[in-house]
Amino acid sequence: MAIIKPFKAYLPPKQIADKIAAPPYDVISSEEARDYAKGNELSFLHISKPEIDLEKGHPLYDDAVYHKGAENLKEFVRKGYLKQDTKPSFYIYRQIMGNHTQDGFVCLSSVREYEEGKIKIHEYTRKDKEDDRTRHLIEQKANAEPVFLTYRSVKEIDLLVNEEKKKEPLFDIKTDDGISHKLWVVSDDSAVKKFIKLFESVPALYVADGHHRTAAAVRMGQHFRKMKGSDDPDAYYEFFMAVLFPHDQLQIMDYNRVVKDLNNLSEEEFLKKLSDKFVIEKALSLKPEKQHTFGMYLNKTIYTLTAKPQIFDEKDPIDSLDVSVLQKNVLAPILGIEDPRTDKRIDFVGGIRGMGELIKRVDEGWAVAFALYPTMLDQLLNVADSQKVMPPKSTWFEPKLRSGLFVRILED
């Protein structure tokens, strides 16, 4: 069962919601955040990336950064940029990106369900990133940014969400990237109870995007549990803010790779080694059209690589992933990239940037680019159900959740 709870969110007044809304902390650099928030004291980046309010070059993990984030959150509340809802509620968060629409259910999810493996992961986290975000949460004593979870869709939940969307939204904004964001409040006691009951039939939740945010939110709960010395399963710190999406509404984009050099191979030697594992053909388009095919850009030429069936196990949830096929048959054995998490010779390019970005990177000096077919939601769920993890940078979800449209501040 999926345990969910309503909460009294801190919400921006509708007339400034578009000014508050900001990209999540982990998709832009400190310098980009500084430019993004320039001249806008309402930007939520002052809370999620508070280093922008300190001098340039200030150490990111310095105490002053964490203190500034907590101070800024208090100021947002004091100035009325964020106002607390009047009663515990759920919220429906709709995003529209081009022809794609997804409806998220905003609630509190259970720390203990994560600990028990009922909220499943499909990626490992990096300790330094996890430590940093945990410190922000503890200092702010808040879930400032939501965790992005998914579940296997349930028709009755979809129907109830659609009923709630017939009401007037709290706000309806469009951010500078052209994505629409709507929020509805679900405060009626009857509807709240129905949602709680319906989610009890959901066997598991899955971390879709934001494994570091999720792990940090759980660690914050564990911190306050230890500090309070209490074993109360209903305590405020036993829950964290999340947005739950039905799996059949989500959109995963390709997550592509560029490599700095050919590992001391000539172009001819490199292509010869590739031909042992792939059928290689020159092509007009870099974008692959189906699984187990890859686009490759090398020396002003576009190729399609089709994986030979013997190089992967279609029945294995990890081995059959295209990111695994590329890593096990090209990146590691041919290009010498054994650990893509740490190797500086590889970089990752989200599909939102398009194929042109891959071509640009190679034309500017990188050696080769690989375009991948997107990982599918069913693959992600199967990996998590198998208690396995995907290779790093396997999924790129779009649209991203905007920060600042709902915040949860912990209360004793």
Residue 143 · residue 285 · CB < 8 Å: no
Q: Convert the pLDDT of each residue in 33-61 to its tens digit.
A: 999 999 999 999 999 999 999 999 999 99
Q: Convert the pLDDT of each residue in 97-139 to its tens digit.
A: 999 999 999 999 999 999 999 999 998 888 889 999 999 999 9
Q: Convert the pLDDT of each residue in 74-103 to its tens digit.
A: 999 999 999 999 999 999 999 999 999 999
Q: In what order do the strands lie in the sheet with 346-350?
A: 278-282, 301-307, 293-298, 368-372, 255-259, 346-350
Give the 3-state secondary structure of residue 365.
coil
What's the fold here for domain 255-373? 3.30.1760
Question: Residue 184, class by beta-carbon neighbours within 10 Å (0-12 exposed, 13-18 middle, 19+ buried)?
Answer: buried
Q: Domain locations in the chain?
A: 4-251+398-409, 255-373
If one compares 392 and 263, the residue with the highest pLDDT of the two is: 263
pLDDT at residue 353, as a whole number: 87
pTM of the model: 0.91
List the structure tokens of 388: 């396995």
Continuous segment of H or E residues that includes residue 102: strand 100-110
